[in-house]
Structure 1
Amino acid sequence: MYKSWWKILGAVLVVYSTVAGFLASVPALPILHQSIRNLYFHVPMWFGMIVLFSVSVYHSIKYLSNNNEEHDMKAVQSVNAGVLFGILGIITGAIWAKFTWGQAWSFDVKQNFAAIALLLYFAYLVLRNAIDEDQKRAKIAAIYNIFAFPMMVVLLFVLPRLSDSLHPGNGGNPGFNAYDLDSHMRMVFYPACLGWILIGYWIYTLLFRVSAIEKNKTV
């Protein structure tokens, strides 16, 4: 019970933010209207993805330093969980775009670069499946992962700011601030971010434990 406190906290925060996300009041804003509630789901998914990819690149670096197979297993399972959150981020973003921009995919610069960033990690998983020898696969995948992470950061946070975008916070389009993210929304938004990050990390640990069990069975 003591070691599982963060899992309980994550579950409580997700339940709280989900219920409050649908039922709590939100600012009456033009264009966004009730669709602003998606902020409680769309943005936390991306935060969860970034945290999981950060965990993955950490373990890739650790693997290259000590060749401990456990770090390679943790790296790939963290990517698996991160890709799941990335897909959910794309889907929730497309739903939001449908109601605010008129179409689910408008080829907005942020949408395009987010999709490319996610494809980087799909390529990581494909690369792993293309190499049979364990140590060679782990080393090449670790090197790829270390280079993929800063590329993902550039694609999500740097390049979109260099051009105009419909997405908040890019190309002169203001991000969420006191105008549209009021104090009531912050009481739901911040717990949602923390809750989904903890749930994402929990999923990653479960995937790692399953892979470790399967590995031991095949040895």
Structure 2
Amino acid sequence: MKHYWWKILALLLLLYGIIAGLLGPVPALPIVHETIRNVYFHVPMWFTMFTLYLISVIYSIKYLSSNNPHHDLVAVESVNVGVIFCTFGLLTGMAWANFTWGAPWPNDPKLNGSAIATLMYLAYLVLRNALEEEQKRAKISAIYNVFAFPIMIVLMYILPKTTDSLHPGAGGNSGFGQFDLDGSMKAVLYPTAIGWILTGIWLMTLRFRIRKLEYQNHTVSE
């Protein structure tokens, strides 16, 4: 049981986040109204994606210094799962934007930056599949990953804060935290985000274990 406590915690936090996110009190804000509840689902997707991409770049650096193939497997599987959460982040954001701004994809620097960052990580996966030799594939993709991560941070978090953006907390706009005076949303958002992050890591470890077995079988067969 001591090895599974964090998985149980992840499930409990997700259950809490879904129930409290749909039924709990939220501040009455103009324009967004009840759609502000989407923050409990949209924002944790990005937090989880960011965490997985961070794990990926850490293990890419570890691979470059050790040439341990298991580090490369952790890096690629972190990106694989991170792209899934990125997709959910885009979809929940588009649904919210369609209600709030009247279009699922308005011309917004944060949305455009997110699209470019997503294509950049999809290119990482395409690059890996295009290279057949294992060590060459692992090394080139690790170098690519090391450069992709800071570019993603610039595109999604730095540039929107310095330009005109529709997003709260970017382009000089106030974040939702300014209106949530009683902290009720934070009491739901932060535990929910932790639950999704733990779930993302859980999925990544499952994929890593599968890839590790495939790698070992491939090595034995050779």
TM-score range, shorter chain: over 0.9
TM-score, with structure 1 as normaliser: 0.97
Q: What is the SS of the residue equivalent to 1:165?
A: coil
Q: % of aligned pairs identical?
A: 58
Unmatched 5+ residue regions in structure 2?
Answer: none
Q: What is the SS of the residue equivalent to 2:178?
A: coil
| Offset, 1:173 | 1.0
Greater shift, 175-184 or 124-133, is seen at 175-184
Aligned pairs for 1:140-179 within 5 A: 140-179=140-179
Cα distance between partner residues in 2 of 1:109 and 1:180: 25
Match of 2:191 in 1: 191
Q: 1:181 to 1:154 in 2, by over 3 A?
A: farther
The alignment of Structure 1 onto Structure 2 pairs a total of residues equal to: 219
Letter aligned with residue 12 of structure 1: L
Deviations 1:160-219 (A, max 9, x none): 122111111111111121314642111111111111100010011011011112222323
Letter aligned with residue 188 of structure 1: V
Unmatched 5+ residue regions in structure 1?
Answer: none
C-alpha root-mean-square deviation of aligned residues, in Å? Answer: 1.0
Cα distance between partner residues in 1 of 2:192 and 2:102: 26
Match of 2:130 in 1: 130
Cα distance between partner residues in 2 of 1:13 and 1:35: 21
Match of 2:2 in 1: 2
| Offset, 1:158 | 1.0
Q: 1:178 to 1:161 in 2, by over 3 A?
A: closer
Cα distance between partner residues in 2 of 1:178 and 1:61: 38
- 1:84 maps to 2:75: no
Moved over 3 A (4+): none
CA contact (8 A) 1:29 1:180 kept: no
Match of 2:11 in 1: 11
| Offset, 1:19 | 0.9
Aligned pairs for 1:48-87 within 5 A: 48-87=48-87
Greater shift, 105-114 or 33-42, is seen at 105-114
